[in-house]
Structure 1
């Protein structure tokens, strides 16, 4: 019994290390998004840290328009980054979960 428990604890620790490594790797995965007309471009990491914003000169003439572009484009980029982040972390967690009776299908298969 204790051998099984120790094995599960080792597996849990290994999974935690893989999750930490995946989070670190996601800092290097870049997500690019732009407005429909290409006047605003945003780059962020899969961990949702903004790395770059490019604004076309024409947007600098209208503060409200620029604000709208920023909100829409950044939100779309965050949605993409979140999807990547969640998929990667779920894959690591699913891979590392010990086989516990009654827990089949909890993380999808």
Structure 2
């Protein structure tokens, strides 16, 4: 029994390291999002760090329109980044979980 516990602790430590590596890798995964008409383009990492914003000159004339574009496009980018982030981290966590009956449904 003690050997099983030590094996599980080793697997947990290995999984923690894989999660850390995955988080670091997600800093390099870029997600591009743009407004429906292409006037605003956003690049964000899968860890939801904003990398760039490109604004068409025409949007600079109307403050309210620009604000609306920023809110909508940033929210879409953050939603995409969150999906990628959660999928990647869940896969690593599931891989590192011991085989406990009933627990597999938590990571689907």
* Change in CA separation of 1:76 and 1:104 when aligned onto 2, cut-off 3 Å: closer
Q: 1:107 maps to which residue? A: 107
* TM-score, L = length of structure 1: 0.95
> RMSD of the TM alignment (CA)?
0.9
Deviation of the 1:107 alpha carbon? 1.8
Structure with the higher fraction of residues in helix conformation:
2
SS of alignment partner, residue 105 of structure 2: coil
How many aligned residue pairs are there? 108
Residue 36 (1) aligns with residue 31 (2): no
Could you tell me which runs of 5 or more consecutive residues in structure 1 were left unpaired when the two chains were aligned: none
Moved more, 86-95 or 97-106: 97-106
Distance 1:78 1:59 in 2: 21
SS of alignment partner, residue 105 of structure 1: helix
